[in-house]
Each structure stands twice: as structure tokens, then as C-alpha cells.
Amino acid sequence: MPKYRLHINGSEKVVDVEPDTPLLYVLRDQLELNGPKFGCGLSQCGSCMVLVDGVAVTSCIRPVASLGNSRVITLEGLVNENGKLHPVQEAFVKEQAAQCGYCLNGMVIAAVSLLNENPNPNEAEIKDALQVNLCRCGAHTRIISAIKRAAGNQ
Amino acid sequence: MFELPKTSRRKFLQKIGYISVGFPLLGMVLGEQDPVMAARENFQGTLPGSLRGANRVNAWLQVLEDGRVMIFSGKVELGQGIRMAICQVAAEELDLELDQVEVHLAETGLTPDEGYTAGSGSVPNSAMSVRYAAATARQKLLELASLKLKTPVKDLIFYNGKVKTKNNNQSLNFAEILEGAQIDLEVTVPIPVKVKSGYRYVGKAIPRKDIEKMVRAEELYIQDLRFPGMLHARVLRPKGYQSKLVKLDESGLSSQVSGVIKTVIKSSFIGVITEREYQAVKAERYLKANSEWSTGTDFPDQNYIYTHIRSIADPPQTIRNEGNANAELNGNEVFKATYTKPYLKHGSIGPACAIAMFDGDILHIWSHSQGIYPMRRAIAAMLKMDEEKIHVIAVPGAGCFGHSTADDAAADAAILALAYPGKHIRVQWSRQDEHYWDPYGSAMIMELEASLDENGRIKAWKSEVWTDSHSMRPNNDPATLLDSRYLENPVELKDRGYLGGGHRNADPYYSIPNMQVNAHFFDGPLRVSSLRSLGSYTTIFSIESFMDELAEKAGKDPLEFRLAHLEDERAIAVIHKIREMCDSEFMKDGEGIGFAFSRYKNTAAYSAVAAKVWVEKASGAVVIKKLWSAVDVGEIINLDGITNQIEGGMIQAASWTLKEQVTFNQNGITSSDWASYPVFRFNEIPEVKVAMIDRPDLPAEGGGEVSMPPTGAAIANAVYHACGKRVYDLPITTEKIKSA
């Protein structure tokens, strides 16, 4: 199996996997990260999102071989070295923006990606940015509030 | 590594040193002001069902070595926040800080068997059992402390895990009071419970502790569990419900896919175990491409599903009959309408997952099942194993909303673990399997007939409801698990499960002198089971749509018309509240507001919902702008938790109402993913507002389902007010509005 040198959450990781293995499986299975979740394997629900060079993308169908030198940040990587939460993570806790929380990873990642681009999004822009992300519990309105709160706290 | 709960088996306290009376334990308590002790009153009412099954204090509550308390509940966390609700109730009765209470949720052999976490029953059953067990424990702890401290109870203070004498000189924590024992005492009335006015936590919006764990990506879900040497597996599902394996050529598997450990073939059950997860995905793909299955699934034409349902239904059964509806409806002016609802999916965002390990004696299973004890009975029957040799630990998964595929995944893992002992085997379902094999919410038909008297009041009412079962949850019958139907000596379902869920709320909660409800049960083509709120979503969609139609016939305002038929003050209060909530809402051209009401199960929580929609005239496209709900669940345990449930319930039901239906053709299910079974995405999400009416002196009802039934009808009524078109056939789509 070929070796891949990946930049994950600020450090370099070498993984030994088949080239077609989607990034999600490398993150969860090899690197034992919990943030990105398997939801559909079809890039339809956003549960598996990570930041690749600062932009939210799904990781469930993206082959590890295609990553090159890209920087990958997962939900774990948003917490700073002192354990302090990212403003978006903090806002999700404050707004209690979850029920089961399975989609939360993708929601937080998509929100961070949005705020990187647009620090002051309006409600329509927030909804657009999260269009890929499915939530079945119906926590959407709390998620929107959390992103507004995070934007205000940045 | 996943950290197992602190007591993975029933562990009694070590005998710890007893500290002699008279020695102040903590310097810091000296000089502290005495807390105000809340008064107590005797509870004399009926104890919850769960307490009848496990009636000792120590079944629910044990004191840990450090004096904190571990609560045991047989319910599981589904994202509804039950862990925090139980923690609040226990901390309240025992006057503890929230951090002094740990809650251990369902694990066989350790927690009470509380059946399923379902039916909005966890607060009234489990949380209330904990309340009475904790209050009983408090009383006993006080009595024991009184003896040890040689101080009358009236001179003791019971606060934050300590019992102190009022002069502050002596103090004991719970562990010191019990000296290694637990409280093996029957919970029996009268029970001195805290008066509601003295509550520190109950009724408040206490944040859940697990959301921070979620944002930190801590190990929380079953999908996150990793055990040393754990292997991965996939199960190749049959081509259709009735398919049998005809041929499987696995000769090239190991050369095509690396890491294959074992293929397990038992009749039409095919599982493959690999070292890594993605290898299992590829192995399943290979096996699928190299297998042949008999067809055998023969579904009716979806376009005529309701005709089909009528054709296969049993003769009707009369569920309720008061006055003489038939006579009153005969010969008078009668209004009639028929409503239909398709099969709906649970649509969990996380496909099922399970882990199992057979250690040579005990089969350990980690599952996100909603009922680990009944699931254990079904797995034991399927495997012909002694139930006591199966140990099931509940671990949260993604929200599942009724009866998900978790139990089926657990059965998969159990079969594979027995075939490959000594290793943890993790089974993960694919999205497609999750969509194809989900036990859907039944398609239903509701025919309504009513007549009005000269004052515009309903004189007679008849409901005819067509429904399949609303629970095929695992139980003693192994065929409730999918795998049982495909193993050697396959078993067929013995009974039809819980049919009663289908006519839940089919009898209006309104005062109607002549009322008849008939149920037409059918055994339909698709796999079905419990979906959040069972039949109530359909029965209330129908009744509350019809109420608006009748109000119009009677020339009455829809809410006034409802109020005129209600006697229950709590029902009247939620309707007044919903009217007040949207009183000042301004309607633009093309916008309309609709209302609906229900009391869940006609015996539990009350909810009135309003929907504001905009319908684009030219296309018939509907946009839900806003949803409001006024809810009365009796005593509120966690204000934010219940609000979250109500908000989410409205949004999920709104998605059902506008978008959802399971599709199929003669060969099988065609809703294979989120593209072919679309649900609400962010751009469809309305604003939501919830008002809770707290009734601290009334019993606490669950709220997980209560906002769903009225939401569908409120939307249908709003669409009617927005554009003059009424849709009777769910989902309410653009095409149906155009052609209505």
C-alpha cells in the first residue's frame, strides 16, 4: 500500500492506505479522529465535512490520493492548543444548537468556512452556506442562531 | 479509547473508613451560611410503571465511593436530552449539585428494563421513577445520618451531598452515611418529595453537558468506539425483501480486495469482515457484483397504493362508538373528506452501526437501539442463545425517531462476532441500505364524515382509518430482526405488532355527541414500524384539516370553532396562547396562516401549532415562513430541552408535509439516498417560535412527539388560506396545489 503524507490539524501524518480510500476513512479509521462523521458516502449530507485549505468540503468520496499538499482541519483541529474552543464551537454550546448532534461536525465546519469568507453573513447567506448540510432533528434554527452569535463574537 | 461508564458491572461500594462523629470533615464548610432547605410534601399518587418493574431504591440510585450519586435509567439518549432531565430530577430531590450526579443509561444487567425509549414516555416513566427513588433515598439517608450523628432529623441540614448538624460541627457525605452499603429499600408511597416552589433545577433551562463534548469531537457516538484489534464488517443485503441468494462467487474476493479476514455466509445472510473499514466497503461491493439473487419482491404500483391498501384491509374494527353516529349521519347533510399519507422514512443522518464481541462465554453488543432489553430477547431468540449470555450496552447514535435499523445492525454484528470470536466486530450500514431496509412509517388513509347542527356545532362524526402496524420493534419474536428472515431456517413474523398506534388520535378530542371510529388494518407491502408520533401525524392532519373545512361550512372562525367544541381548560389555554402569539402577524398577498390543535394520545401533552406560508400563485410553490407552537406538557423538567424538542418536531413534520414519501416500483424501493428521498434543507427552514405553558403541579408528560401531529394540518390550512387550494394527499407538493 502506498504511503501518503497528509497535513492534518497542523501536523504531518503519514498513512499507509490504498489510493482510492476516501479521506473520511483515513481520518476516522487510521487517525482515530471523531469529528468527521459517515452519513451517506455520497457527498449529499455534509456530516463528513472538513476544511481543506480553509474551505468546507465533504470527505466521504474524496480519495486520499487527491489531497496533495492541502491542509486539512477537522472539528478537533478547531480547538486551540490551550483547549479553547473556536468561536463557532463556543456558539453552538451557548445556543445548545444540537439534538443528537450527529450533523454538528458538518455544521460547524461549514460555518467556519463561511465566516472565513464572509465574517458578517446575513440569514440568507448562512442558509446558502449550509445548503449541503442535512439535520434530521430540526435543530436548524438554533444552528443559524449559533452562527450569527459566532459572527458577532469574532 | 472509549471510556466505559465508571461501573460497567454492578459494583457495590468498598467498605470505607468511617470517620468518627464530631470531626469536622471540611474546614470550608465552617462559617458557611446554612442553605435554605426546601419544604417536602408527601406524594401519595400512582407510581410510574417503570417503578413497578424495579421497585428498590438501589435499582435506580447508588452512592459512589466519593459520596456522589450514580443514577441508573433503562432509557437511552437519542438527542432528546433525557440524560440531563434525569440528572436534574435526581439532583433536585437529593439537593445535590448537578456535577454530583452521574447518569448511567441502559445496559443489560445493570439498569432497569424499561423497554423502549419511545412514545414520549421517558420523562413520565424513567425521570419520575428516579424522582421517587431519590426522594426515598434522601429520607433514608437522613434517618441513618440522624443515628450516626446522634442528632434529631430536625436539627440536620441536607445539602450538596452532605448531611450536617445545624451547628456545623459534624458532617457526613452519603458514602460515609452508608458505609459501603446501598439503599435496598422498596419505593412506596407516601414519598416525601420536594415542593415545586423549592426547585433549583427542575423547570429551568439547564444546558446539556454533551453538546460541548460534541463540538470537541469527543468519543460520544457508537460510531466513535474503537477497541484494540477491532475489525470492520459489512453485510450484503438481499436484492429485495423476498430475495434468496442463488449464487455467490467469492473466489476472487481476496485477490481483489485487501484485508479480507472472513466471509460469513448463512443461507441468504452474507457478511464480510475486514481489517479496515474501507476494505469492508469494497468487499461488499465485490460480493454484490458477484452474487445472484432471486427476485420475488412484488410491490403494487405506487400510483395506486391507496386502492391497493383498501383492497387488502381486514374488515373494520370499531374502536370507539358513542351516541349514534350512523343514524345522525344518515339522511342529514353530511360533509366528507378523504386524506392520505404515504410511507415515510425515519431518515436518521447516521446509518446504523453496531459492535459485537463474543468472549467465548458472553456475547457483548454495543448498540444504539431504542430498547436494549427487548432487542436482547429478539437476538437471543434468533441465535437460540440464553438471554443471560448476551450483554448489551446502549451507546448513542444519530437521532432515530421511532424504530431505526440499529437493532438490525446489532443482529448483524452479533452473527459475525459469533462466527469470529475474540474480536470486536464493527458493522456499519450504508446510506442505501439505511434507505431501503428502514422500517418505514405506514402509509395511511383517513376518511372523515360529519354533520353540523343548526348552531353550527358538530353533531355527528365518523373516522375511518386504514393503517398498517406502527410497531414491529424487536421483542421475543426473532423475525422482528431482518437477519432472522435470511438465515438458515428463516422465520416469518408471528404477529402484526402494535396496530393500535394506527388509530392514535383518530377520535377527535372535541365534544361531539355522536362519534364512531373504525380501523381497517392491513398488512402492507413495505416493511413498517414505529415512526415518531405513530398514526397521530396522519389522524391529526386529517381531523384538523377537516375542522377547518367544517368551520368554513359553519361560517365560523377556525379557532373559535375549535374552542366551541372544547371543554378542557388546558386545551383552551394552548389555543388562546397560539392566537396571541401570531395576533400581530401581517399577511401579504399570497400569504396565509393556518392553525391546528391536538392533545397527544388524547391523554398526554397539549399542542397548538400555527403555520404561515406563502404560495406562489403561478407555480404553486409553497414556502413556510414561520411556525409557532403553544405547548403544555404539564410540569416542565428542562425548559430548553423541551423547547428544542418542540422546535425540532415542527421542522421535521414540516419536511414530511411538503416533501417526503418513500418511492417504489414493482421491483423494490427506489428511495435510495437523499437525492431520491429529499428532506428539508436550510433554505426551506422557517422561523420557529415556541411558548411553553408550565404547570408545575401537574404530571410531567413527555414532549418528543407532541408538536408533530398538528404541524401537518396547520400547514395544509395555511396553504388553503394563502391560495384557496386544499391538498388532501400528502405530501403537499407544487403539482398538487396547481391541480387542486
B682: nearest CB among A37, A102, A130: A130
The model's pLDDT over B76-130, given as tens digits with 9 standing for 90+, comes to 999 999 999 999 999 999 999 999 999 999 999 999 999 999 888 899 999 999 9
The reply to whether B548 and B636 lie within a common domain is yes
Whether B676 has its CB under 8 Å from any CB of chain A: the answer is: no
Last residue of a domain, one of B437, B457, B480: B437
Cell of B469: 402496524
Q: Is B25 a residue whose pLDDT tops 60?
A: no
Contact B620, B722 (CB under 8 A): no
The reply to whether residue B682 touches residue A127, judged by beta carbons under 8 angstroms, is yes
The reply to whether residue A34 touches residue B398, judged by beta carbons under 8 angstroms, is no
Q: Is B594 a residue whose pLDDT tops 80?
A: yes
Q: Is B378 a residue whose pLDDT tops 90?
A: yes
Domain with CATH 3.10.20.30 in chain A: 3-76
Whether B703 has its CB under 8 Å from any CB of chain A: the answer is: no
Could you tell me the residue range of the domain that residue B632 belongs to? 444-739
**pLDDT of amino acid B295:** 85
The reply to whether residue A102 touches residue B221, judged by beta carbons under 8 angstroms, is yes
**pLDDT of amino acid B169:** 82
CA distances from A154 to A120, A148, B217, B699 (A): 10, 10, 22, 44
Comparing CA positions, the residue from B425, B398, B484 lying closest to residue B234 is: B425
The reply to whether B426 and B448 lie within a common domain is no
Comparing CA positions, the residue from B181, B202, B189 lying closest to residue B14 is: B181
Residue-wise DSSP of B366-383 = EE--S-HHHHHHHHHHHH
3-state secondary structure of B35: coil
The reply to whether B464 and B545 lie within a common domain is yes
**pLDDT of amino acid B34:** 63
Residues of chain B with C-beta less than 8 angstroms from the C-beta of A72 = none
Q: Are strands B606-615 and B668-669 parallel, antiparallel or unpaired?
A: unpaired
Calculate mean pLDDT across residues B566-592: 97
The reply to whether B116 and B256 lie within a common domain is no
Mutate to test the interface with A, among B220, B257, B349 (most CBs of A within 10 A): B349
By CB atoms closer than 10 A (0-12, 13-18, 19+), residue B586 is exposed
The DSSP secondary-structure symbol of A26 reads I
The model's pLDDT over A109-119, given as tens digits with 9 standing for 90+, comes to 999 999 999 99
- Nearest chain B residue (CA) to A34: B217
Q: What is the dihedral of CA B700, B701, B707, B712, to 10 degrees?
A: -150
Cell of A58: 465533504
- Nearest chain B residue (CA) to A77: B216
Please report the residues numbered 650 through 669 in chain B whose beta carbons come closer than 8 angstroms to any beta carbon of chain A.
650-652, 655
**pLDDT of amino acid B33:** 58
How far apart are the C-alpha atoms of B535 and B539, rounded to whole Å?
6
Flag whether B2 is in a domain: no
Q: What are the φ/ψ torsions at residue B352 (nearest 5 degrees)?
A: -60, 150
Percent of chain B at pLDDT above 70? 95
Domain with CATH 1.10.150.120 in chain A: 87-153
Whether B698 has its CB under 8 Å from any CB of chain A: the answer is: no
Whether B402 has its CB under 8 Å from any CB of chain A: the answer is: no
B211: nearest CB among A40, A96, A141: A96
Flag whether B643 is in a domain: yes
Q: Is A5 a residue whose pLDDT tops 60?
A: yes
Calculate mean pLDDT across residues B574-599: 97
**pLDDT of amino acid B660:** 98
Percent of chain B at pLDDT above 90? 90
Residue-wise DSSP of A115-141 = HHH-SS--HHHHHHHTTT---SS--HH
The reply to whether residue B217 touches residue A35, judged by beta carbons under 8 angstroms, is yes
Comparing CA positions, the residue from B674, B3, B83, B662 lying closest to residue B351 is: B674
**pLDDT of amino acid B564:** 98
Q: How many domains does chain B have?
A: 3
Whether B679 has its CB under 8 Å from any CB of chain A: the answer is: yes
What average pLDDT does the structure give for chain B? Answer: 93
The reply to whether B602 and B575 lie within a common domain is yes
The reply to whether B112 and B247 lie within a common domain is no
Flag whether B60 is in a domain: yes
The reply to whether residue A39 touches residue B351, judged by beta carbons under 8 angstroms, is yes
- Nearest chain B residue (CA) to A126: B682
Contact B124, B48 (CB under 8 A): yes
Whether B1 has its CB under 8 Å from any CB of chain A: the answer is: no
How far apart are the C-alpha atoms of A145 and A126, rounded to whole Å?
10
**Which amino acid is it at B505?**
N
The CATH class for the domain spanning A3-76 reads alpha beta
The whole-angstrom distance between residue A148's C-alpha and the CA centroid of its chain comes to 18
Q: Is B28 a residue whose pLDDT tops 80?
A: no
Last residue of a domain, one of B384, B405, B437: B437
The model's pLDDT over B674-733, given as tens digits with 9 standing for 90+, comes to 999 999 999 999 999 999 999 999 999 999 999 999 999 999 999 999 999 999 999 999
**pLDDT of amino acid B667:** 87
Flag whether B282 is in a domain: yes
The model's pLDDT over A42-92, given as tens digits with 9 standing for 90+, comes to 999 999 999 999 999 999 999 999 999 999 999 999 999 999 999 999 999
Flag whether B335 is in a domain: no
How far apart are the C-alpha atoms of A5 and A3, rounded to whole Å?
7
* Number of other CB atoms surrounding residue B223 within 10 Å: 26
Mutate to test the interface with A, among B80, B214, B225 (most CBs of A within 10 A): B214
Q: How confident is the model at residue B17 (pLDDT cuts 50, 70, 90)?
A: very low
The model's pLDDT over B158-189, given as tens digits with 9 standing for 90+, comes to 999 999 999 878 999 999 999 999 999 999 99
3-state secondary structure of A109: helix
Q: What are the φ/ψ torsions at residue A101 (nearest 5 degrees)?
A: 80, 5
Compute the nearest-CA separation of A110 from chain B (Å): 12
The reply to whether residue B80 touches residue A99, judged by beta carbons under 8 angstroms, is yes
How far apart are the C-alpha atoms of B630 and B607, rounded to whole Å?
6
Cell of B462: 365518523
The model's pLDDT over B44-56, given as tens digits with 9 standing for 90+, comes to 999 999 998 899 9
Contact B179, B18 (CB under 8 A): yes
Q: What is the ipTM of this complex?
A: 0.98
Whether domain A87-153 has CATH 1.10.1520.10: the reply is: no
How far apart are the C-alpha atoms of B427 and B351, rounded to whole Å?
10
A25: nearest CB among B218, B278, B351: B278
3-state secondary structure of B528: strand
Contact B277, A25 (CB under 8 A): yes
The reply to whether residue A34 touches residue B221, judged by beta carbons under 8 angstroms, is yes
Q: ∠B480-B483-B485 over CA atoms, to 5°?
A: 70
Contact B648, B533 (CB under 8 A): no
**How many residues belong to chain A?**
154
Please report the residues numbered 240 through 279 in chain B whose beta carbons come closer than 8 angstroms to any beta carbon of chain A.
258, 276-278
Flag whether B658 is in a domain: yes
Q: Is B202 a residue whose pLDDT tops 90?
A: yes
Contact B521, B496 (CB under 8 A): yes
The reply to whether B232 and B175 lie within a common domain is no
Compute the nearest-CA separation of B681 from chain A (Å): 6
The reply to whether residue A99 touches residue B79, judged by beta carbons under 8 angstroms, is yes
Calculate mean pLDDT across residues B379-396: 97
Q: Are strands B101-104 and B69-72 parallel, antiparallel or unpaired?
A: parallel
Residue-wise DSSP of B549-612 = HHHHHHT--HHHHHHTT---HHHHHHHHHHHHHTTT----TTEEEEEEEEEGGGTS-EEEEEEE
The reply to whether B511 and B601 lie within a common domain is yes
Task: Number of A to B CB contacts under 8 A, please give it.
Answer: 175
Compute the nearest-CA separation of B224 from chain A (Å): 6
The reply to whether B429 and B481 lie within a common domain is no
The reply to whether B372 and B451 lie within a common domain is no
The reply to whether residue A138 touches residue B277, judged by beta carbons under 8 angstroms, is no
What average pLDDT does the structure give for chain A? Answer: 97
Compute the nearest-CA separation of A19 from chain B (Å): 11
Q: Is B32 a residue whose pLDDT tops 60?
A: no
Residues of chain B with C-beta less than 8 angstroms from the C-beta of A42 = 431, 673-675
Residues in Cβ contact with A50 at an 8 Å cutoff, skipping those fewer than 6 apart: A23, A27, A35, A36, A56, A57, A59, A72, A73, A74, A109
Q: Is A125 a residue whose pLDDT tops 50?
A: yes
Q: How confident is the model at residue B8 (pLDDT cuts 50, 70, 90)?
A: very low
A32: nearest CB among B226, B232, B655: B226
Contact B179, B14 (CB under 8 A): no
How far apart are the C-alpha atoms of B249 and B256, rounded to whole Å?
13
Q: What is the dihedral of CA B172, B175, B179, B183, to 10 degrees?
A: 120
How far apart are the C-alpha atoms of B654 and B537, rounded to whole Å?
11
Last residue of a domain, one of B210, B234, B264: B210
Cell of B232: 470492520
- Nearest chain B residue (CA) to A106: B215
Flag whether B633 is in a domain: yes
CATH number at residue B261: 3.30.365.10
B211: nearest CB among A39, A93, A128: A93
Residues of chain A with C-beta less than 8 angstroms from the C-beta of B217 = 33-35, 74-76, 105
Q: What is the dihedral of CA B547, B552, B556, B558, to 10 degrees?
A: 40
Task: Encode burial over A112-127: b for 16+ CB neighbours within 10 A, e otherwise.
Answer: bbbbeeeeebeeeebb
Flag whether B384 is in a domain: yes
CA distances from B486 to B120, B245, B270, B382 (A): 33, 9, 9, 11
Phi-psi region of B423 (alpha: psi -120 to 50; beta: other; left: phi over 0): beta
